[in-house]
Amino acid sequence: MKTLFQKLGPVLLLAVFAACGREPVRMRRLPARMLWAWESPQDLRFLRQGEGVAFLAGELHLELGGARWVPRRNPLRVNPGSPLLAVLRVESQGAPLTAAQSQALIERASGLLSLPQVRGLQIDFDARESERAFYAGALKGLRSRLPEGTPLSITALASWCLEDDWLSQAGLFGVVDEAVPMLFRMGPEALSIRRRLGHGGTFREPLSRFSAGVSTDEPLPPLSRGRRVYAFHPGSWTAEAWAQISRELP
């Protein structure tokens, strides 16, 4: 039988790192510069050592009565040594979600670890308020299936990282290693969020203090040094597009 420390040790350790202003140890397996490779043909062999790829591995469509898996359709070319993070995109239709669909998410996500060069997982799900309990439960189930030391990242709407405390209230600290604030396509809140960051503000959510998501087709928001940055590019990446945004990052 595990002792209480053995059960809570990883959570307590993460809490210590957050209090000290350091990201969880598991995230050290990934570089500070990550390129998002979405569903377009991607040749990323221009990347250098210390630069990684978070690639769309597939989409899980949660439909009435089941879950439909759509794997990546376009080629992805990377260097043999490039660290990879497999991204699973979740789409829902607003219908009530079930335990069977949660299990499908867990199975599909954990199965992606068998892909070559994959060091961890990222779940991309813009969960509605009514879907949050489902999502939190699925993430906890997924963490229990992952090998020790495997990074588990999620994307996060910017609003989740500011005044909305649902990630912490759902008990995801210690389950998820980072919640990446999506600082593009922010809608009406974009200006106020950019101003807040420009005045030295930070995110209230502890899971969102060590990373950020940006896009090449929008002005970069003010970013502090030390964050892991995920960069999105509409369409296929080019060496020039990556070099340009790399120069602009802190």
31 in any annotated domain: yes
Q: Which amino acid does the sequence have at 233?
A: H
2 in any annotated domain: no
Half-sphere exposure of 181 (CA within 13 A, CB side): 28
Distance CA 222, CA 198 (A): 5
Asked if 36 and 231 touch (Cβ cutoff 8 Å), the reply is yes
5 in any annotated domain: no
Q: What is the pLDDT of residue 23?
A: 86
4 in any annotated domain: no
CA 208 to chain centre: 10
> Residue 158 sits in a domain of what CATH number?
3.20.20.80
Decide: helix, strand or coil at residue 86.
Answer: strand
143 in any annotated domain: yes
64 in any annotated domain: yes
Residue 122 is part of which domain span? Answer: 27-248
**Rounded to whole angstroms, what are the CA distances from 156 to 74, 160, 176, 219, 227?**
25, 6, 12, 19, 15
Q: What is the pLDDT along the chain (250 residues), one digit of tens a residue?
A: 444 434 444 444 444 444 446 789 999 999 999 999 999 999 999 999 999 999 999 999 999 879 999 999 999 999 999 999 999 999 999 889 999 999 999 999 999 999 999 999 999 999 999 999 999 999 999 999 999 999 999 999 999 998 899 999 999 999 999 999 999 998 888 888 888 888 777 889 999 999 999 999 999 998 888 899 999 999 999 999 999 999 999 8
Q: What share of the chain is helix, strand, coil (3-state, %, to 5)?
A: 35, 25, 40
Element (H, E) at 28: none
Q: What is the pLDDT of residue 21?
A: 63
222 in any annotated domain: yes
Domain count, the chain: 1
pTM for the full predicted model: 0.90
214 in any annotated domain: yes
